[in-house]
Amino acid sequence: MIYLDHNATTPLHPRVLDAMLPYLRERFGNPSSPYRLGREAYAAVNRARRRIAEFLGAMPDEIVFTSGGTEADNLALRGVTRALFKSGNHLVTSTIEHHAVLKTFGDLEALGHRVTYLPVDPHGIVDAAALRDSLAPETILVSVMLANNETGVIQPVDEIVAIARERGVLVHTDAVQAAGKLSLRLHALGVDLASFSAHKICGPKGVGALYVRRGTPLAPLFTGGSHEDGTRAGTENVAGIVGFAEALAVACEAQDEQIARLGRLRDTLEGEIRARLDDVIVNGGQAPRVANTSNISFKGVEGESIVLQLDLAGIFVSTGSACTTGDPEPSHVLLGMGVDPLAAKGAIRFSLGPTTTNEDVAFTAPRVVDAVRRLRALSSLGERL
Amino acid sequence: MDEETSASRSEEDPAQSQEGIDSFDPMSGPMLFYNDRVIDHFTNPRNVGDLSEGAAIGFGLVGDPRCGDQTKLWIEVSSGRIARVRFRSFGCPGAIATSSMLTVLAEGRTIEEARAITDDDVIEALGGIPARKKHCSLLGVQALRAAIDDHEKRSSAAREDPA
Ligand code: FES
Specify the pLDDT at position A179: 96
**Is residue B33 very low, low, confident or very high in pLDDT (cuts 50, 70, 90)?**
confident
Specify the pLDDT at position B10: 37
Strands A90-94 and A139-143: parallel
| B72: contact with A, CB 8 A cutoff | yes
The CA distance from A274 to A251, in Å, is 30
Specify the pLDDT at position B132: 83
Q: Give the least confident one: A261-270, B59-68, B141-150.
A: B59-68
Residues of A within 8 A of B31 (CB-CB) are: 326
Residue type, A299: K
A156-192 pLDDT per residue, tens:
999 999 999 999 999 999 999 999 999 999 999 999 9
pTM for this model (two decimals): 0.91
- Per-residue pLDDT averaged across B74-97, rounded? 95
Q: CA A75: distance to chain centroid? A: 16
- Minimal CA–CA distance to B32: which of B83, B97, B121, B110? B97
Q: How many Å lie between the alpha carbon of B33 and the closest alpha carbon of chain A?
A: 10
Q: Which domain holds residue B155?
A: 2-24+32-160
Of B31, B67, B93, the CB nearest to A308: B93
Question: Which residues touch A254 (CB under 8 Å, ≥6 apart)?
Answer: A354
Q: Is the pLDDT of residue B19 over 50?
A: no
What's the B133 CA to ligand 1 centre distance in angstroms?
A: 6
- Per-residue pLDDT averaged across A262-280, rounded? 97
Residues of A within 8 A of B32 (CB-CB) are: 304, 325-326
Q: Is the pLDDT of residue A337 over 80?
A: yes
**Is residue B25 very low, low, confident or very high in pLDDT (cuts 50, 70, 90)?**
low
User: Is this prediction's ipTM beyond 0.90?
Assistant: no
Cβ under 8 Å to A: B residues 76-115: 87-93, 95-96
A152: left (phi over 0), alpha (psi -120 to 50) or beta: left
Three-class secondary structure of residue B14 per DSSP: coil
Q: What domains can you pick out in chain A, each with its CATH number?
A: 2-8+255-384 (3.90.1150.10), 14-253 (3.40.640.10)
Chain A: residue whose CA lies nearest to B31: A326
DSSP B37-81: HHHHHHHS-SSBS-----TTEEEEEEE-TTT--EEEEEEEEETTE
| Count of domains for chain B | 1
Judged on CB neighbours under 10 Å (0-12, 13-18, 19+), A260 is exposed
Contact B92 A326 (CB under 8 A): no
**Is residue A330 very low, low, confident or very high in pLDDT (cuts 50, 70, 90)?**
confident
Of B66, B92, B135, the CB nearest to A304: B92
A36-85 pLDDT per residue, tens:
999 999 999 999 999 999 999 999 999 999 999 999 999 999 999 999 99
Number of C-beta neighbours around residue A305 at 10 A = 30
Cβ under 8 Å to B: A residues 308-367: 308-309, 312, 325-326, 328-330, 341-342, 345
- Per-residue pLDDT averaged across B27-48, rounded? 82
Using CA positions, which residue lies closest to atom 1 of ligand 1? A328
Of A300, A305, A312, the CB nearest to B96: A305
**Is residue A328 very low, low, confident or very high in pLDDT (cuts 50, 70, 90)?**
low
List beta partners, residue B78.
B81
Residues of A within 8 A of B67 (CB-CB) are: 328-329, 345
- Per-residue pLDDT averaged across B20-30, rounded? 46
Contact A380 B31 (CB under 8 A): no
Q: Is the pLDDT of residue A115 over 60?
A: yes
Provide the 8-state DSSP code for A155: P
CB of B97 closer than 6 angstroms to any ligand 1 atom:
no
The CA distance from A295 to A316, in Å, is 14
The widest CA-to-CA distance across chain A, in whole angstroms, is: 72
Helices within A291-378 (DSSP H only):
303-312, 332-336, 341-345, 358-377
Helix (H) or strand (E) holding B93: helix B93-106
Q: Which ligand 1 atom is nearest residue B64's CA?
A: 2
**Is residue A342 very low, low, confident or very high in pLDDT (cuts 50, 70, 90)?**
confident
Residue type, A135: L
Give, rounded to a whole angstrom, the gap between the first and last alpha carbons of chain A.
33
CB B70 within 8 A of CB B32: no
Three-class secondary structure of residue A65 per DSSP: strand
* Residues of A known to be catalytic: 323
Specify the pLDDT at position B30: 42
With DSSP H G I counted as helix, E B as strand and the rest as coil, what are the percentages for chain A, rounded to 5?
45, 15, 40
What is the CATH number for B114? 3.90.1010.10
Backbone angles phi, psi at B98, to 5 degrees: -70, -35
List beta partners, residue A65.
A209
Specify the pLDDT at position B69: 87
The CA distance from A170 to A192, in Å, is 6
Pick from B42, B66, B69 the residue to mutate for probing ligand 1's pocket: most ligand atoms within 8 Å of its CB.
B69
Which of A345, A374, A380, A381 should be substituted to probe chain B, the one whose Cβ sees the most B Cβ atoms within 10 Å?
A380
